Structure 1
Amino acid sequence: MKKLKVEKAFKELLGIVVLAMLAFSFNSCEQFDIEENPAASELQVVTYSSMAQLELGVTGIYGKLNKAAWMSTFYVNGWSGDDITTHVASNKADFREYDQRFITPENSRTQTNWNGVYEMIRAANTVLQSVEGVTLSDSDASKQDRLIGETYFLRGIMFNHLMRIHGRIPLVLEIDPFQQPSLASQLEVFEQIESDLLEAESRLPVKSPFAGSTTPSQGTVRAFLARLYMDWAGFPLKDASKYAQAAASAKSVIDNAAAHGFGLEPDLAKLWSLAGRFSQEGVFTIAYSNSAGNLTNRKMGKLGLPSDPGLNGWQETFAEIRFFEDMPEGTRKDATYYAELPVGDDGAINLDNPTKILKWEEFKDQQSPILRKIVGDLADGDWAQFQTLRSDLYMRYAEVLLIYAEASGEAGSSGADAWEALNMVHRRAEGLDINTPDPSDLTAGDGSIQDLAFTERKWEFAGEFIRWNDLVRKEKVQEALGARNPQVSIGTSYDENGVGSPKPLTTAQNPILGSLATDNYYAPIPQQEIEKNPNLSN
């Protein structure tokens, strides 16, 4: 019986992904122009008269989320962190601009991401205006409320996604083809995101009906509020009162984790495999499908491999050498990286009959460690493809636990439960049982809980495109990137006399070119948008 229920839920989830793609295709062809001003629209808003219209409108937003997120462009800001780097040449110039903190207003990845996010926002605005003041006669009120709640949530997290890249952004809240919005203040942006999330929370169910929380629940929203308050407490607004709100929000999620369907996945490596695509650790998961429109995830697999013969990688996403070598050895590091690959005579990965173990220092194309989180479980075989059905764990339950630990420490309210939240993540990293105290648990003797939690985040979310946001909110960019020397490993090699020297790695070099000061923390607004709307220039 349990198996039948799981299969039924999966089929329902797959149906939503397919419907989202169909809705995206309809909206893309009939209603939107990719080249138009993302802050405006020529949509004609028609008041909904049936639940079918509302459902199609909301699934259309999910379709646009998939289309915005399926390429690495969606996470382009992640290359700014000290955990991720890209190829030194090839066609990765836009990623290198972020990697080197020298981002130009003409960066095409920035523009594409801007377009995709504002398409979602416009679609959400259309739904909200089309259903405003309407009680649909062919459905119960709870279903209408849930769909409206999902719409507010999706708009809020997209404002949040873009805010983390650009800081100040235009808050487009209605469909008006003639509007020329200005950049909102940083406070206004935070307040609007908070407002959208609170509107969503009041309408959503306690638990998502789908495995992996591919639609939001009250717990999902409260987790994103906790993340928002952490950013609010840091740079640039530095409102320290928000730490208490972050702690309270995260604690609410933790206390109700079972009701929300959240929990840590005991096997960390499973999260980046096909088997882990709908894990309970997903607080909000972006799922993919090849059943309609070939809506697959196209930022994993071979994009994390070099172009060496046999590997044939697309050389897009690699690990930073210094970060890799600094990470403590153990279960978590093994789940995060591949330090070596089993290959056959043809140079291709071969799990059954490898003839050589190829170390990352031996790559001919680019000597950078491999992120397992990008390449995936080798047994899945999608390392050889440029597309996969693996999900994006857009937010994980581990982040909720670490937010609670860090925010409690900053607010001066940390107790045993905050330490337990921190140590649940830490135990898993050590390969221990999550719920059983261990002598290796972190304590006050190791440092302040907020500093320990911040460091735990560094290692836990390596390669997940969010490290840069942590460096920004804590103003640690200079500290993390200022002494980086990617031309030389911090490892040591010794000659026959025992004299050590740094290991040379001459092919891995994307040196920092831009400023690491706070005035360069945010990417510029795309030049094309400023040309269409000069109000965005200030």
Structure 2
Amino acid sequence: MRKYKISNLLGIGVLLMTLAFAVSSCLDLDEDPAKSRLAPGSYSNQAELELGVTGLYVQLEAMARMTTFMVSGWGGDDITTHKVSNKADFREYDQRSVSALNARSATNWASIYSVVRAANNVIANAKDLKLSDQNAQNRLMGETYFMRALVYMHLTRIHGRIPLQLQPEPIVDLPLASQEEVYKQIESDLKQAEAMLPLIYPNVSAGAPRPNQGSAKAILARLYLDWAGYPAKDQSKYALAAAKAKEVIDNQKSYGFSLVTDLESLWTIANRFNSESIFTIVYNQPLGVGNRKYGMLGHPSDLKGWQETFGEIRFFEDFPAGPRKAATYRLDYDWENFTDQTNPVFKKIVGPKGDIPLTSFDTDRNDYYMRLAEVNLIFAEASGRSGNVTPAAWEALNQIRRRAAGKPFATPDPSVDLTSGDIAELAFTERKWEFAGEYLRWNDLVRMERVKEALSQRNPRTSKNKAGELLKVSNPIIGSLEKDNYFAPIPQNEVNLNPNLGN
């Protein structure tokens, strides 16, 4: 039996009741039941469809607020967890020794399929619905397809082949789909979303807390980049990734997107809604749904932290000095002499000085599921790997490089700009630094088959404590770095229920 803390249930319950009240206030309570002849469970009006779609966001927020949602991120060479304490499930990913009994994997799997089932229900219940406001119906259905694609893509990045549940009632003995089938289903859903979503979702804050057409295009570009790499290795998808990313870049104003000038501002509470986010997962601490991935979870016990997420030492040492490094890490900390765990602290996790109180477990920090910076770098990398390098691709790369150097990103600067070389590899390396601590690095290593190369070079070279002793890796690798260990095993409890998942 899965156990939940009472406080979690109450918080989610408060949010559900609040959202339900807001939507139900629009219902026509005098509607004649005789006029509604749809099958039981089918939607008969816009308010019911809206309530169904709202439920998807409630489930996504409840799932994504915990670091469990990002569990595979600890596999990257940028992130590590605590060397003891109660982080064993994260350490398994960190040390590349993930068990089928990993509790975080099991929770994540169940939560994601809960969102899938809810999305399937919305699609089925809206099958015969004909609203007078066709635009509203389109955007609500577009959100539903977007959400199903999002969570399926998130799960396949962790486990590889997964079962594709596409009906309201789950098929209990469903086999694993091939990787190609998984990608094609995600592509189909995202194309549906792209066709149905508006340029900008009406009446929402910056950063697409409700996805728009540009959000769907951007996630499609990310999908195609994955599809071109391991394990599918369909290199024809590089051209599609570049084309879709360019559509977003060329039309970013129409979608309300733009790079922010100050990189560090992205990690502040005050700027949690901003134009760089392609899709934002929103949290609200007063309603009981605070984000539990930030604040004290990134501090050691020396600073009253919950010691969950730290920076890898070697990655920190290799990180180029400059404004971007200062925006990524708390350089004001004497982390080499922490008594608990000697690892760098991510500013992206704990916030700039004075932004998040040291004692904050729940915060109002939003999640940027994808940033426009990633779209720029997908365009640059995929252009190079597809053999179609243009000045626009160099400009996309250089905008990220300029900002990293503390320069105006839209102004050419010969001291920073690149116009020759292997743009694909330059963009891949730029991703390494730009997204450090954002749980993206592991997937990049997998798709380019560079896990062994990266994780075999983690020993600190220069970081020493006051005694002059060279620091050690907190969580040494104990599992295989070969391709057969890239994807986490499907949770054993799921295999017990459906032995087909073990094939």
TM-score > 0.5 by shorter chain: yes
Check conservation: 2:277, 2:368, Cα contact below 8 A. yes
**Cα distance change of structure 1 residues 114 and 204 upon mapping to structure 2, 3 Å threshold:** same
State the match for 2:500 in structure 1. 535
- Superimposed CA distance per residue, residues 33-71 of structure 1 (whole angstroms, 9 cap, x where no aligned partner): xxxxxxxxxxx9711111111010000000000001000
State the match for 1:312 in structure 2. 304
1:218 to 201, 213, 221: 213
1:207 to 200, 205, 227: 200
1:298 to 292, 298, 303: 292
Q: Percent identity?
A: 55
**Cα distance change of structure 1 residues 275 and 18 upon mapping to structure 2, 3 Å threshold:** farther
Q: For 2:162 and 2:54, how far apart are their aligned partners in 1?
A: 25
- Superimposed CA distance per residue, residues 360-408 of structure 1 (whole angstroms, 9 cap, x where no aligned partner): 0110100000000100122223332111001001100000000000001
Q: TM-score under structure 2 normalisation?
A: 0.91
State the match for 1:522 in structure 2. 487
Residue 443 (structure 1) shift = 2.2
Whether 1:46 and 2:46 are equivalent positions in the alignment is no
Q: For 2:426 and 2:179, how far apart are their aligned partners in 1?
A: 29
State the match for 1:402 in structure 2. 377
Check conservation: 2:229, 2:235, Cα contact below 8 A. yes
Check conservation: 1:427, 1:433, Cα contact below 8 A. yes
Q: For 1:125 and 1:329, how far apart are their aligned partners in 2?
A: 48
1:202 is paired with a residue whose SS is helix
Check conservation: 2:380, 2:397, Cα contact below 8 A. yes
Whether 1:329 and 2:321 are equivalent positions in the alignment is yes
1:523 is paired with a residue whose SS is coil
Q: Runs of 4 or more off by more than 4 Å in structure 1? A: 17-20, 23-26, 492-495
State the match for 2:89 in structure 1. 94
State the match for 1:5 in structure 2. none
Q: For 1:312 and 1:372, how far apart are their aligned partners in 2?
A: 16
Q: For 2:45 and 2:426, how far apart are their aligned partners in 1?
A: 52
1:335 is paired with a residue whose SS is helix
1:183 to 163, 176, 179: 176
State the match for 2:233 in structure 1. 238
Residue 440 (structure 1) shift = 2.2
**Cα distance change of structure 1 residues 200 and 254 upon mapping to structure 2, 3 Å threshold:** same
Check conservation: 2:45, 2:129, Cα contact below 8 A. no
Residue 483 (structure 1) shift = 2.6
How is 1:33-182 mapped onto 2 (pairs within 5 angstroms)?
A: 46-136=41-131, 139-182=132-175
Check conservation: 2:465, 2:471, Cα contact below 8 A. no
Whether 1:504 and 2:470 are equivalent positions in the alignment is yes
Structure 2: stretches of 5+ with no match in the other structure: 1-11, 22-38
**Cα distance change of structure 1 residues 194 and 158 upon mapping to structure 2, 3 Å threshold:** same
State the match for 1:284 in structure 2. 279
**Cα distance change of structure 1 residues 306 and 25 upon mapping to structure 2, 3 Å threshold:** farther
State the match for 2:188 in structure 1. 195
**Cα distance change of structure 1 residues 156 and 492 upon mapping to structure 2, 3 Å threshold:** closer
Q: For 2:463 and 2:67, how far apart are their aligned partners in 1?
A: 33
- Superimposed CA distance per residue, residues 162-196 of structure 1 (whole angstroms, 9 cap, x where no aligned partner): 00000000100002255321110000000000000
Residue 115 (structure 1) shift = 1.1
Q: TM-score under structure 1 normalisation?
A: 0.85
How is 1:20-39 mapped onto 2 (pairs within 5 angstroms)?
A: 21-22=16-17
Check conservation: 2:280, 2:368, Cα contact below 8 A. yes
Residue 133 (structure 1) shift = 2.5
Instruction: Tell me whether 93-102 or 205-214 shows the greater mean CA deviation.
Output: 205-214
State the match for 1:347 in structure 2. none
Q: For 2:237 and 2:75, how far apart are their aligned partners in 1?
A: 26
Q: For 1:484 and 1:208, how far apart are their aligned partners in 2?
A: 44
Q: For residue 104 of structure 1, what is the amino acid of its counterpart?
A: S
How is 1:436-447 mapped onto 2 (pairs within 5 angstroms)?
A: 436-445=411-420, 447=421
Q: Would you tell me which structure has more strand in proportion to its own residues?
A: 1
Whether 1:454 and 2:428 are equivalent positions in the alignment is yes
Q: For 1:518 and 1:254, how far apart are their aligned partners in 2?
A: 34
How is 1:476-491 mapped onto 2 (pairs within 5 angstroms)?
A: 476-485=450-459, 489-491=460-462
Check conservation: 1:321, 1:369, Cα contact below 8 A. yes
1:360 to 313, 335, 339: 335
Q: For residue 309 of structure 2, what is the amino acid of its counterpart?
A: T
